[in-house]
Chain A
Amino acid sequence: MTTTAEPQVFRSPGSRGLWAWVTTVDHKRIGLLYAVSAAVFFLIGGIEALLVRTQLFGPNLEVLSAEAYNQLFTMHGLTMVFLVVMPIAAAFTNYFLPIMIGARDVAFPRLNSFSYWLFFFGGLLIYSSFLLGGAPDGAWVGYAPLSTQLTEVVRMDFWTIGLALLGVSSLGASANFIATTFTMRAPGMSMLRMPVFAWMSLVVAFLLIFSLPSVTIGLFQLFLDRNFGALFYASAAGGDPLLWQHLFWIFGHPEVYVLILPAMGIVSEVLPTFARKPLFGYPFVVFSGAAIGFIGFGVWSHHMFTSGMGPIAEAGFGVATMIIAVPTGVKIFNWLGTIWGGKIKYNTPMLFSLAFIAMFVIGGLSGVTHAVVPSDTQQHDSYYVVAHFHYVLFGGAVFGYVSGIYYWFPKWTGRKLNEALGKVHFWLALIGFNLTFGPMHILGLNGMPRRTYRYPEGLGWANWNAVATIGAYVILLAFLVFAWNIVRTHFLAKGERVGNDPWDGRTLEWTTSSPPPVHNFDTIPVVHSLDDFWHQKYTEDDEGRAVRIPAVTEGALTVDEETGGGDESHEPDEDMHMPSPSFYPVVSAFGFAITGAGLIYLPWGFLGVGVGVAIAVWGLFGWSLEPVTKEH
């Protein structure tokens, strides 16, 4: 990180190396930490998926024990949802939300650091279970009473406690992003001038804030049932396991939008940039995103159509689920409208975004079939459902995030990822993905249940399973190419060096250097319109074509029109006091994690709880009492 000579940025130097990363409160560094963690977990979760697929390659195989299989599919789901897609979304939000709205950091930099470290320790805690008697094996949804009955082992406690920690982390991050968006926008950056990605991050933050508490309560109830003899889900004593499904899905369904909306935001940034046209119907994209979030709270029971809720509830939730297809469809049409007639550049980020649309439409359409209750009753817990949500979450969300990585990699590192390798990655990923998950539709409709350890010969499932497993290895190959591309470009420094604005972008992050300085902007920009940076670079001729304004150099900062346009009055802001690094957030997060670990091993774990609470309280007190910016 370099500091420019002028203006002066006061920021205590802190330590270098690893300690600087541990104590960092810089939103960009925290974003990168999220990204690297997500990449590591993506590798682990991918290996788990490959093991599962290998077991299912042919009938009656025994590559894994049934026990190991249960642990692997549970951990695959858990990892991909909570430790890969959520953190990669958090990585993008952390890095770009403040820059996109013209702020110097998030509202609470130390809370941001705390959120990251709590996520990190939570993930570590969940994965430590592999070494401590076995990983959680009750599926990522942890349905009671299966999850409450395995009391002789601690496996599902790793899951309850781990998820609770991740939940607190997400709550902190979400409150932070909401406060940032509502209070720290640059002058002129009204809500309807915010980039769509910032909007989608805001909607996601609201979804998490209002849905996580529900599953947190459910997790506590499960924990009390498992460890203290509570009877929330004990049907013999009058408890009702269905309550867990409600509490879980009240969170779980908005969670689906938490995973997909940031990817939609990324696509809404990438498409206009490479189609060289403004986003078609910006307010519609924004409001349909908000509508998806809002309606998303009213559809949770469509996961429970086979639980016997009765025809009225089923009809109601079925209709609500169909309605949610409307704002989603609006977005699809807006994206198509955006690329329609554009001068499309087919580079890697664009290809992934276009594939996102196609794959997401397939996943969305199979989703609508679940809204039809009689049809859903047939598909429930079959491979058809597995196919559906992988089309949405892999072909949808993951492709969107990969597109974002290609798009913003130059901003992170100052180097472009290699285009040729990128195209190899793209085509392998697209083909591998469809080979893997396309056949699962057929398998599901032929009756193959999900979470199947082994299947006999003669059911007609063997061939499609073999195809799916081969496809999974093609995906592996694709992502190895991707990993090599990143290593080559960044770590071997062979990537093409680029300036501030390699893609001729539209949003504020392209006005600052690559990578951005600690303080993001020398002068806080003044925003005059949507896509402000674009309008500084281009004007329209009589026929509505974009014409470059010659005077403004690439990456120039906003010049206030009233102070005389062309005159480069680059008055840097007064001295900026960036927050000092702090190790209290990581201490507090560590205390929380130790507390959680102690809870898993009750009763003697109470010792750990005591130690953990003491550490957490020390961290929180130190945190509240230390000044934000230390004197020199």
Chain B
Amino acid sequence: MATDTTEIEAVDAGRADHGEDHIEHPSPAQYWLIALILAIITAVEIGASYISALEGPLLVSILLILGGVKFAMVVALFMHLKFDKPLYRNFFLIGLFGALAMFVVVLLTFRAL
């Protein structure tokens, strides 16, 4: 539960110097590039779902991986989680993976996965 001392010191340090240390965020041009990549991945996803040769587990894994990449890119780059305090990352990841683990187990007890 976010007890890593370095984070704690980071919080303390953040308080000491009145605000956040500004690590460079991407520039607008880079944001456009990221959006372009996201759009291309989306196109690939949609295309893949129409290729009947990919039916079954292969398609499922391709779509899940591509969706995961998009998810990670938005969280890391648009939401600046890559640059921000590890504390925020921990809060979010606990929620994300906690939910994932719990609900996978729920669905397994229903034999629904």
Query: A354 within 8 Å of B by Cβ?
Result: no
Q: How many residue pairs, one in A and one in B, have C-beta atoms under 8 Å apart? A: 50
Query: B98 within 8 Å of A by Cβ?
Result: yes
Bound-state CA distance A293–B106 (Å) is 19
Bound-state CA distance A36–B99 (Å) is 36
Residues of B within 8 A of A300 (CB): 102
Interface of B is mostly: helix
Question: Do the beta carbons of B1 and A246 come within 8 Å of each other?
Answer: no
Question: Do the beta carbons of A242 and B110 come within 8 Å of each other?
Answer: yes
Bound-state CA distance A490–B108 (Å) is 56
Specify which of A203, A214, A250 is in contact with B1 (CB 8 Å cutoff).
Answer: A203
Residues of A within 8 A of B109 (CB): 246, 301, 309-310, 313
Bound-state CA distance A405–B82 (Å) is 45
CB proximity of B7 to chain A, nearest CB, Å = 9
CB proximity of A212 to chain B, nearest CB, Å = 12
Residue of B at shortest CB range from A191?
B8
Query: B11 within 8 Å of A by Cβ?
Result: yes
Query: B87 within 8 Å of A by Cβ?
Result: yes
Specify which of A190, A203, A243, A298 is in contact with B12 (CB 8 Å cutoff).
Answer: A190
- Interface flags, A416-433, vs B, CB<8A=1, else 0: 000000000000000000
Bound-state CA distance A243–B99 (Å) is 15
Specify which of A182, A190, A242, A313 is in contact with B108 (CB 8 Å cutoff).
Answer: A313
Question: Do the beta carbons of B8 and A190 come within 8 Å of each other?
Answer: yes
Bound-state CA distance A240–B94 (Å) is 28
Residues of B within 8 A of A240 (CB): 110
Question: Do the beta carbons of A297 and B1 come within 8 Å of each other?
Answer: no
Residues of A within 8 A of B26 (CB): none
Residues of B within 8 A of A250 (CB): 102, 106
Residues of B within 8 A of A246 (CB): 106, 109
- Chain B interfacial residues counted at CB < 8 A: 20
Question: Do the beta carbons of B11 and A290 come within 8 Å of each other?
Answer: no
Query: A294 within 8 Å of B by Cβ?
Result: yes
Query: A453 within 8 Å of B by Cβ?
Result: no
Residues of A within 8 A of B3 (CB): 191-192, 287, 290
Given that A190-B12, A191-B8 are known contacts, is A206 also in contact with B106, CB under 8 Å in the complex? no
CB proximity of B22 to chain A, nearest CB, Å = 18
- Chain A interfacial residues counted at CB < 8 A: 30
Question: Do the beta carbons of A297 and B110 come within 8 Å of each other?
Answer: no
Question: Do the beta carbons of A182 and B102 come within 8 Å of each other?
Answer: no
Given that A182-B87, A210-B95, A242-B110 are known contacts, is A293 also in contact with B1, CB under 8 Å in the complex? yes
- Interface flags, A283-302, vs B, CB<8A=1, else 0: 00001001001100110110
Bound-state CA distance A240–B2 (Å) is 37
Bound-state CA distance A243–B105 (Å) is 12
Query: B18 within 8 Å of A by Cβ?
Result: no
Bound-state CA distance A313–B112 (Å) is 14
Residues of A within 8 A of B95 (CB): 209-210
Question: Do the beta carbons of B87 and A290 come within 8 Å of each other?
Answer: no
Bound-state CA distance A210–B94 (Å) is 9
Bound-state CA distance A294–B110 (Å) is 24
CB proximity of A279 to chain B, nearest CB, Å = 17
Query: A463 within 8 Å of B by Cβ?
Result: no
Which of B1, B8, B15, B106 has most chain A Cβ within 10 Å? B1
Bound-state CA distance A445–B15 (Å) is 57
Bound-state CA distance A191–B7 (Å) is 10
Residues of A within 8 A of B1 (CB): 202-203, 206, 290, 293-294
Query: A183 within 8 Å of B by Cβ?
Result: yes
Bound-state CA distance A423–B95 (Å) is 45
**22 cross-chain CB contacts under 8 A:** A178-B91, A182-B87, A183-B11, A187-B12, A190-B5, A190-B12, A191-B8, A192-B3, A192-B5, A202-B1, A206-B94, A209-B95, A210-B98, A210-B99, A240-B110, A242-B110, A250-B102, A287-B3, A290-B1, A293-B1, A297-B102, A313-B108
Apart from A214-B102, A301-B105, list 4 A-B contacts with CB within 8 A.
Answer: A190-B5, A210-B98, A300-B102, A301-B109
- Measured CB to CB, the residues of B under 8 A from A are 1-3, 5, 8, 11-12, 15, 87, 91, 94-95, 98-99, 102, 105-106, 108-110
